[in-house]
Structure 1
Amino acid sequence: MTEPHLLDIFSERNGTEPTTPAAGQGKLLTATLHSETWELLAVNGALAQLVGLPTDPTELAARSLNFFDLCPPESSRDRQSLQRRLRLPLILRDIAAIAPQDWRLWDEPQIFTLHSPHHAKPRYIQGWFRWEHLRAHRIDPTYDELADLDLHQPASLSQTNLETRIAWNNYQIEGDVIWEGIDITPQETLRRLNHVLVDVGSAVFDPEHLHCVGHKLHALFHATTTLILSMKQNRVQPFLFCKGQAEPLETLTLKDLEQAHALRAIQAHRVWNVPDLEADCPTPLEQILLERGCRSLLLIPVSQSLSTGGPEQVLGVVILGCPTPHQYDQLDAAYAEQLIPAFRTALRQANQNKLMRVHPAVEWRFAQEAERRSLGLPPEQIIFRGLYPMYGMSDIRGSSDERNRAIQADLLAQFNLAIAIIDRVLENQAIAFLQQVRADLQVQIDRLAEGIKVEDEVTALDYLHDHVEAYFDYFEQCSPAVKQAIATYEQACNNDHHCIYHARARYDSTVQQITAHLRDTWEQWQTQMQTILPHYCDTEVTDGIDHMIYLGKAIHPQFSQFHLHSLRYEQLRALCDCARTCFNLRDEQDNPLQVAHLILVQDITVDIFHDEQTEKLFDVMGTRDTRYEIVKKRIDKAISTQDQARITQPGMLTIVYSTESEWLEYQHYLRYLEREGWITCDRTMGAVEPLQGVTGLKFARVEVIPAAESEIHQA
């Protein structure tokens, strides 16, 4: 319904002189615009004051400005499109006699950015163009480009792109447009800040993103400095953005924050205001801010609950600084409170894994929730229901045994160097105590040669430190030969680990090389899979890589069975390619480690949710869904009921399933893979030994063909 003051304006129109919007300094901004040129014909006092224009129509006309001259250049790019969208209901109403209440385009608000001489940053204005009082008529009444359409049928209107059918040059609009706006700069800045924080996630501390976040914070809080303290355990990493520049600061400890305002804010569990830093500057951290011109501080503590009713984990503190004392008030504190959920998401991800971000496929939901909270609405849990899970892994076979052998080799080498030192000392001094020390060392060497225990990597080194290295000061005085033996020992241990780490370094390098190539291969396929349909994918790197995919309508509304089957087949192809990547590494670099590959099939959907009290991005809901999680954790060690051998084998792809319908579906995929030359025609079928709490699983195993042999096999 049209507002009363607009009806008054319309009744005063004489068709020649522009109507001046109601004067006054209220919050409503109004203007009268020429319907063809968007020229400003009149403005009310509030808009005139905001953008620095005269309210007198004659003086305003002398400026010869249109509405978009008040906006940044990019705002005028879609002016023609906007004008056509607003004219369309007029044409349909006045030419086709379609009731205007059937159209909502006039009620759609637009967000404009207006320059103001009173503000350093543009203002965000939510505005509406009022066209309902205008009239449209055809210049050439004989030309009717809509004659073949039944515009009174909703189906005809919805299926036709009317904007492309309208002959716009054949229509004239009579009357002037009324524009109304409200300044929503704080609310819009909050919304955009929440979106940016959720969007960049753990990358909030990258210089580029820190600039973006810092500028928006400064605009909202009239600040010149932002200091973000990221906290994990006893470590405090400061990130400073001051006067448009990111500055590096040294890492702190919690002890460095004793008596600091940041610690006071954490202990108070609320936004903390420091009216005048000159009068209260307790620690070197505040001194840094004072030296950069900060007088007022606003501190936002960010924490998360680890369990219901349990203690909170402090993630960090966001500190805003302003050169004016007594700058911040309750309204600033209220704005700051609305940013805490988004900062919690960003800092939690940064503390957990700097490489992790909210996945693009579900980012929209996190941004949506951040925007809700920025508007003061109560938190709403993020849940995605009815998703199909797709789990796969490429596991380095025998990695634990291989690392144990590397530990064994390093420890034996170090113990032998220790014995060499004792032998050099005994050459000059037949000391009974040293002879017993040597005998103990030999016992240790004999035991390590037979095999190592889990604790040996630590306890064996402690033994050397207590029974050999502790005597180095004395040994060095015995003879040059002893001194040289000690130098050899210390040189071999001169690394970050402070022990011999040669075999383990080779092992670590080999594993890292395999996992890096596996991840690169998988990420290439994942990029391709996202083009089929956006879906959530979480990749974890351990001794190999695991991936967890969720897809369904809750994530993308266009999801269908076609997308499910297409992505299941792509997942199989991707793991076959991962297997080929491992074959290439084995052949090119004589890599001793082998990799087995597995896919877990489940045709029953699950529900996932984001729990803000945990570090994981998503957890499954309900006992029915946790069965899949249990299988995921245990399936790589599963064995066959037939021969008690592991169901996964190096260089092969294993498919684990539960029902006959799942197997029938995957039989088709295996036939396709065979046709493409990914796998051989051989199949190994069997049942999986019951896992704890899970029975009835079956498996099929196929051999992946190396790329070099694929063409021969197909021929």
Structure 2
Amino acid sequence: MPPSPDAPHHEGRHAIAAQAEPPADMRSPAATVSALSQAEPFAPPSAAAWLNLLKRHSRLPMAILEPQTLQLQFANQCFCQTVGIAESAIVASGDSGIGLLDMLLPDEQTRVQQILQHHLLQAILAYLYPQRSLLPARLLEEPVILSCRQTQSELLCKVELRLSSECLKVQALSPDLEQPLRQCLGRQPTLEHVMAQLYETESPLWICLQQLQHHPYRVTGFLLLEGTEVTERETINTLVQLLIGRESVLQPHKFSRANELMRGLFRAADSLIMSAENEQAKLFTDLDQSKWQVHSYSVESLQTSLFLKAAERGTVLNIPDLSAVTLTPCEQSIADRGARSLLIIPLVTKSIHSGSMARRLLGLVGMASDRAYAFDNRDVHNATTLVPALTAAMRYTTQDRFTNIHSSVRWRFEEEAERRSWGLPPEPIAFTDVYPLYGISDIRGSSSERNRAIQSDLLAQFELALSIIEAVCSTKPYAFAQQFRLDLLSHVEKIKQGITVDAEVTFIRYLSENLEPNFDYFARCSPAAAAAVAAYRDACDNEQQCVYTARSIYDKTIQRINNLLRDTWTRWQENMQAITRHYCDVEATDGIDHMLYVGKSIDPGFSPFQLRSLRYEQLRAVCDCGRVAFHLKETCDTHLEVTHLVLVQDSTVDISHDEATERLFEVRGSRDTRYEIVKKRIDKAVDTQGRQRITQPGMLTIVYSTADEWNEYRQYLHYLHREGWVEDTIEQGLVEPLQGVNGLKFARVRILPPSDE
């Protein structure tokens, strides 16, 4: 079609050319070259456009500083966003009023001032000796790490900054500054001469540099500040330093910090740890809480799990979407916590076995996100970088992983865990020649009180059962139903007569096997029977699946008393640990008992004076527990009372950790067996004359064997009386022989309430 006569001639020509030009993929090479050669040449942007490009679109923080005030004259968008200042603060005149040092932490300010001093020295040396290069380039290229908080990140943003002073020129120096500089440097200084004085404190050059701020000098030009965002790199470095420390995992505050950094680094909503021993795997969650949640799984149930897959591969595994894979119960529990994606970091070592290398799994660390596809290859790379440090941290907890090992002996467990991580044979964890200090605050009559609670609950449950059968018999007078009713009445009479050891289990089982399976039938017999069944079910609708009213009150009372006693003891433990580092184990059942071990094998600085101080402090702590027990009736609404006993032994024992038992330490050797026997039986001991318990409510009882032990503790009782803890009247007697133990004696004294009562 010919062009419109109204169209300009050049537009018509271009239109014809466009119609005649073949598609680009059908052109010959020569035609392509010809077309390119006829294109208009590229016009580079103006200087202003380049400046705008650097200011708006550069990913590197950049700023220009006034050399003497260090105020920002220019800053690009990336710099402003990184340090958290508004772009509008950098006015066109360059007078922003924002100084570099104002954005730094105190230690960062010191570092920047040192680097600035080197740059200024470079300019001064160029002014004094223009033909010489007197400072190494590396000295002027030293970076400084700037820390700043960004609201969109959980991590503290880190930026590595470098200063450039090529545009800095010294125009004039004060004579009071120039003359000393020339004197200390000489007419022809060398680089070695300058560096030797620069790093020598109180050298002439060093003194001159300290005087720079007090003498006038004139400079022109500016300082260029360039940076790189290094948050991930610095976070990883900090993590490595935390993890490779000997107590990085076992110290709660260090683990909390490491966990916080890990979650921030991977932008994770949750974190978890898995360990495996033999056929049992444990999953630890709620790592940001003081008490972790522990979930146990059999290794067999994990055969198809993502965790086992990561362990077998020995590499970091990224699961982008948990909803797209088949989950084992273990992984499902993680998904139920809100996880959508998962990053699994397996920690393995290599142990030598008969000349071949075999992998040994120490554990797995997991980072979970509540978003699908939250982790990428960069996260996998960062996780891989952390594997050696995480593995080193796990080595220290190989044998007693994440258990609450007392701080006084933790170092020995860490040593042994590290040995075994290198494939060395196990060695016993033992402490020799330690003094034992044992005491107990026992709730008197707790067994009888619990039996009364059991009796009350069983009677209530059987009364509910009788209501069901009687309602059934009123409409269905079957002979069998009548006999069943008589059986229930017989059981009620037995319960009223008293509770035996197995009664709680026996009677509940009787109802669960003979009454409860028939509830559906009973409920159909009559509305009254249905109501009785509903009442029974409602009363048993709890975790125990039985009437548990009186026992619940009892349990809460015992727990309340135990907590009061434990809190009191824990408060005193802080003072006792300050005397000398010692092992302390506290157990709470019906009351609390404590076991202390102290000696040179635990604290190398241990002395006899510290032993006597600790023994006296133990008595004061037990007396304070006694004072707490005076108020049980008011605080716990109970008539239960508490007795208090301290067992004395002046000879040492050896203790060792037995991995086959639940207790952390057991005494070893036949000579120490006697002490263990006494510990287990002494709270029920009676005196030989009155055949009454040697422990009495509101009193402190001391059990001993030798005259030397009594002389020492008689002095302690005198001190306690002088402090107002106990009365001055001391009751003494002999302990009736225990099985295998004879010759024990006791002293008993009444504990006094505080003087202000």
- Check whether TM > 0.5: yes
Return the offset for 1:292.
Answer: 6.8
Post-superposition Cα deviations, 1:574-625, rounded to whole Å, max 9, x if no partner, equal: 2122112111113565522121111011111233344566544434343333
Which of 244, 248, 251 is 1:192 aligned to?
244
Change (3 A) 1:226 1:561: same
Change (3 A) 1:320 1:614: farther
* Alignment-derived partner of residue 573 in structure 1: 620
Post-superposition Cα deviations, 1:145-179, rounded to whole Å, max 9, x if no partner, equal: xxxxxxxxxxxxxxxxxxxxxxxxx9845899xxx
Q: Where do residues 695-706 of structure 1 align in structure 2 (5 Å cutoff)?
A: 695-706=742-753
Post-superposition Cα deviations, 1:438-460, rounded to whole Å, max 9, x if no partner, equal: 11011111111111222221221
Partner Cα separation in structure 1 for residue 145 and residue 676 of structure 2: 53
Partner Cα separation in structure 1 for residue 437 and residue 695 of structure 2: 18
Q: Tell whether the 8 Å contact from 2:273 to 2:284 is kept in structure 1 after alignment.
A: yes
* Alignment-derived partner of residue 549 in structure 2: 502
Q: Does 1:284 align with 2:327?
A: yes
Q: Give the 3-state SS of the residue equivalent to 2:443 in structure 1.
A: strand
Q: Give the 3-state SS of the residue equivalent to 1:586 in structure 2.
A: helix
Partner Cα separation in structure 2 for residue 572 and residue 700 of structure 1: 13
Q: Residue 262 of structure 1 aligns to which amino acid in structure 2?
A: F
Q: Does 1:260 align with 2:302?
A: no
Change (3 A) 1:598 1:609: same
* Alignment-derived partner of residue 396 in structure 2: 342
Which of 278, 285, 302 is 1:239 aligned to?
285
* Alignment-derived partner of residue 137 in structure 2: 60
Change (3 A) 1:621 1:216: farther
Q: Tell whether the 8 Å contact from 1:655 to 1:699 is kept in structure 2 after alignment.
A: yes
Q: Does 1:513 align with 2:560?
A: yes
Report 1 or 2 for greater relative contact order, CA contacts < 8 Å, sequence distance ≥ 6.
Answer: 1
Partner Cα separation in structure 2 for residue 250 and residue 376 of structure 1: 28
Q: Tell whether the 8 Å contact from 1:300 to 1:337 is kept in structure 2 after alignment.
A: yes
Partner Cα separation in structure 1 for residue 542 and residue 377 of structure 2: 51
Q: Give the 3-state SS of the residue equivalent to 2:628 in structure 1.
A: helix
Q: Give the 3-state SS of the residue equivalent to 2:455 in structure 1.
A: helix
Q: Residue 212 of structure 1 aligns to which amino acid in structure 2?
A: A
Change (3 A) 1:364 1:116: farther
Q: Residue 284 of structure 1 aligns to which amino acid in structure 2?
A: L
Q: Does 1:559 align with 2:606?
A: yes
Q: Where do residues 356-371 of structure 1 align in structure 2 (5 Å cutoff)?
A: 357-363=404-410
Q: Does 1:228 align with 2:282?
A: no
Partner Cα separation in structure 2 for residue 429 and residue 37 of structure 1: 99
Partner Cα separation in structure 2 for residue 615 and residue 57 of structure 1: 69
Which of 245, 258, 266 is 1:212 aligned to?
258
Deviates further, 650-659 or 435-444:
650-659
Q: Tell whether the 8 Å contact from 2:444 to 2:697 is kept in structure 1 after alignment.
A: yes
Change (3 A) 1:442 1:223: closer
Q: Does 1:586 align with 2:663?
A: no
Change (3 A) 1:644 1:476: same
Q: Give the 3-state SS of the residue equivalent to 1:598 in structure 2.
A: strand
Change (3 A) 1:444 1:574: same
Q: Tell whether the 8 Å contact from 2:314 to 2:347 is kept in structure 1 after alignment.
A: yes
Matched residues, number: 533
Return the offset for 1:393.
Answer: 0.8
Partner Cα separation in structure 1 for residue 396 and residue 304 of structure 2: 27
Partner Cα separation in structure 2 for residue 559 and residue 397 of structure 1: 36
Return the offset for 1:655.
Answer: 0.9
Q: Does 1:420 align with 2:467?
A: yes
Return the offset for 1:509.
Answer: 1.6
Partner Cα separation in structure 1 for residue 503 and residue 461 of structure 2: 13
Post-superposition Cα deviations, 1:58-81, rounded to whole Å, max 9, x if no partner, equal: 573783x7x7x65789xxxxxxxx
Q: Tell whether the 8 Å contact from 1:338 to 1:376 is kept in structure 2 after alignment.
A: no
Partner Cα separation in structure 2 for residue 484 and residue 679 of structure 1: 59
Q: Tell whether the 8 Å contact from 1:265 to 1:300 is kept in structure 2 after alignment.
A: no
Please identify the structure whose Cα radius of gyration is greater.
2
Partner Cα separation in structure 1 for residue 426 and residue 377 of structure 2: 34
Change (3 A) 1:398 1:263: farther
Q: Tell whether the 8 Å contact from 1:301 to 1:318 is kept in structure 2 after alignment.
A: no
Change (3 A) 1:374 1:445: closer
Q: Pairwise CA RMSD of aligned residues?
A: 5.0
Q: Tell whether the 8 Å contact from 1:191 to 1:370 is kept in structure 2 after alignment.
A: no
Return the offset for 1:409.
Answer: 1.1
Partner Cα separation in structure 2 for residue 628 and residue 245 of structure 1: 39
Deviates further, 548-557 or 187-196:
187-196
Partner Cα separation in structure 1 for residue 720 and residue 510 of structure 2: 55
Q: Give the 3-state SS of the residue equivalent to 1:575 in structure 2.
A: helix
Q: Where do residues 140-151 of structure 1 align in structure 2 (5 Å cutoff)?
A: none
Post-superposition Cα deviations, 1:616-659, rounded to whole Å, max 9, x if no partner, equal: 44343433334323322222222333343332222221111121
Partner Cα separation in structure 2 for residue 663 and residue 650 of structure 1: 22
Q: Tell whether the 8 Å contact from 1:536 to 1:549 is kept in structure 2 after alignment.
A: yes
Q: Residue 618 of structure 1 aligns to which amino acid in structure 2?
A: F
Return the offset for 1:418.
Answer: 1.2
Q: Where do residues 620-659 of structure 1 align in structure 2 (5 Å cutoff)?
A: 620-659=667-706
Return the offset for 1:427.
Answer: 2.4
Partner Cα separation in structure 1 for residue 418 and residue 294 of structure 2: 34
TM-score norm. by structure 1 comes to 0.62
Change (3 A) 1:72 1:610: farther
Partner Cα separation in structure 2 for residue 212 and residue 547 of structure 1: 33
Q: Tell whether the 8 Å contact from 1:518 to 1:544 is kept in structure 2 after alignment.
A: yes
Change (3 A) 1:544 1:653: same
* Alignment-derived partner of residue 3 in structure 1: none
Q: Tell whether the 8 Å contact from 2:655 to 2:667 is kept in structure 1 after alignment.
A: yes
Q: Residue 747 of structure 2 aligns to which amino acid in structure 1?
A: A
Q: Give the 3-state SS of the residue equivalent to 2:654 in structure 1.
A: strand
Q: Give the 3-state SS of the residue equivalent to 1:427 in structure 2.
A: helix
Change (3 A) 1:598 1:72: farther
Partner Cα separation in structure 2 for residue 641 and residue 684 of structure 1: 13
Partner Cα separation in structure 2 for residue 622 and residue 486 of structure 1: 59
